[in-house]
Amino acid sequence: MPIEPEKQARERKDLAETLRGLRLAYGLSGERLALRCNMSQTKISRIETGRALPTVIDVERILEALSVPDEVADELIRLARRANVDYASWRAYARVGLHHKQGELKALESSSRVMRHFLPAIPTGLLHVREYATETLSPTVDSDPARDVGRAVQARMDRQAILDDTSRSFWFLMTEQAVKWRRASTEIMAAQCAHMAEVNRRPNVEIGIVPREVQVAGTPMNIFVVYDDRLVTVELFSGEVVLRDPRDVSQHLHLFELFWSHAITGDEVSHYLNDAAEDFMR
């Protein structure tokens, strides 16, 4: 079920205050607890004051250092897991303007060095030509919220400048369906495929495509993006979930590696995409 922002903020505050209260109840200073946890005293302070969100692993280390009873520790760990998940609906983004979402993505990309996109259904915005972006950002069903499509498209196009930064690495892993799903006219689809073939030639970009005839021991359930090794965004019909628990990040990295191991890459991808572009125009 959706995560309510107000409830989540309250739970994060409760977590911080509870951890501080436990430390005080056990008679430990922040410095002594930091030594026991192998953390800095500054980090302990930031966690207890709510200025830093602790990971589930951070909370486990603190609870172990304090020898907190299992029943109390289990509840706090559940609270930490909930605190490390964010949810935002596309309807909420539309209310403030979808271009703001593009701005958030731009900031996230600018703070990351390695980005891995798993795309079982559709290419990501960083790979779009303008016409394809217009199609994908336009409302499709009556329940879709209204939005300023033109402004959102321009913001998406502006984001693509990040690909020019060769200090950053981009991995785009698609299924064959994502490439060939008829999301737009044949002319736009052909232009989209040809553009991706060109982007694949960039030195900091790797595109992989999993052919439909390949047997894979996994099911491509959701679009997700892993930013370095610190967080994952998962895309749903209704909105987006952000995961920060290191174990969730690790799980998605392993899934990415699994699907990537079955993908065609390099020049083979460029040939595949150019052939697809020609097929759309036949």
Q: How many CB atoms lie within 10 A of CB 216?
A: 15
Counting Cα atoms < 13 Å in the Cβ hemisphere of 257 gives 6
Residue 218 contacts residue 259 (beta carbons within 8 Å): yes
Give the separation between CA 100 and CA 93, rounded to whole angstroms: 7
Per-residue tokens: 256: 């990415």
- In this predicted structure, what is the pLDDT of residue 31? 93
**E-assigned strands of the chain?**
85-89, 114-119, 169-175, 205-210, 223-227, 231-235, 239-243
- In this predicted structure, what is the pLDDT of residue 112? 93
- Per-position pLDDT tens, the chain of length 282: 345 556 677 888 889 999 999 999 999 999 999 999 989 999 999 999 998 888 888 899 999 999 999 999 999 988 888 887 788 787 777 777 777 788 888 888 999 999 999 999 999 999 999 999 999 999 888 887 778 899 999 999 999 999 999 999 999 999 999 999 999 999 999 999 999 999 999 999 999 999 999 999 999 999 999 999 989 999 988 888 888 888 899 999 999 999 999 999 999 999 999 999 999 998
If you write DSSP's letter for every residue of 147-187 in order, what string do you get? --HHHHHHHHHHHGGGGG-TTSEEEEEEEHHHHH---S-HH
- In this predicted structure, what is the pLDDT of residue 237? 87
Strands 223-227 and 205-210, sheet pairing? unpaired
Strands 223-227 and 114-119, sheet pairing? antiparallel
Nearest Cα neighbor of 231 from 103, 75, 128, 86 is: 86
Cα 248 to chain centroid, rounded = 11
Per-residue tokens: 74: 């289990």
- In this predicted structure, what is the pLDDT of residue 1? 38
Give the separation between CA 75 and CA 233, rounded to whole angstroms: 25
- In this predicted structure, what is the pLDDT of residue 2? 43
Give the separation between CA 89 and CA 242, rounded to whole angstroms: 12
Dihedral sign from CA coordinates of 193, 198, 202, 206 = positive
Q: At what angle do helices 41-48 and 30-37 cross, to 10 degrees?
A: 110
